[in-house]
């Protein structure tokens, strides 16, 4: 485990009948993935257009603006 040559797997398991819980789980996973992707993003010139960075930062901003929507209530947890 942890070898650089090993392909990394990104899994977003969502198994629920509650659509809001499914959205919260998916949004949390997306937040973590975007955050991770930005961290490992190759640096380049600041004036270089980068649609990915724009997209990632905007998504993180939006997701971060609605913490209540990203919260999976404990009583619903299996």
Residues in touch with Zn ion (CB under 5 A): 50, 53
Contact between 59 and 65 under an 8 Å Cβ cutoff? The reply is no
Closest contact distance (angstroms) between CB of 18 and Zn ion is 36
Polymer length in residues for the chain:
78
Pick between residue 50 and residue 63 the one whose CB is nearest to Zn ion: 50
Alpha helices, H only, 1-78: 19-39, 51-65
The candidate with the shortest Cα–Cα distance to 76, out of 12, 20, 13, is 20
Pick between residue 28 and residue 53 the one whose CB is nearest to Zn ion: 53
Closest contact distance (angstroms) between CB of 25 and Zn ion is 28
Closest contact distance (angstroms) between CB of 45 and Zn ion is 9
């Amino acid at each position: 485990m942890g070898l650089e040559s090993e392909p990394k797997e990104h899994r977003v398991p969502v198994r629920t009948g509650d659509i809001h819980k499914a959205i919260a789980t998916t949004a949390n996973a997306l937040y973590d993935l975007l955050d991770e992707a930005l961290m490992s993003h190759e640096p380049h010139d600041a004036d270089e257009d980068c649609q990915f960075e724009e997209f990632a930062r905007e998504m993180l901003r939006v997701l971060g603006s609605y913490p209540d929507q990203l919260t999976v209530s404990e009583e619903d947890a299996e």
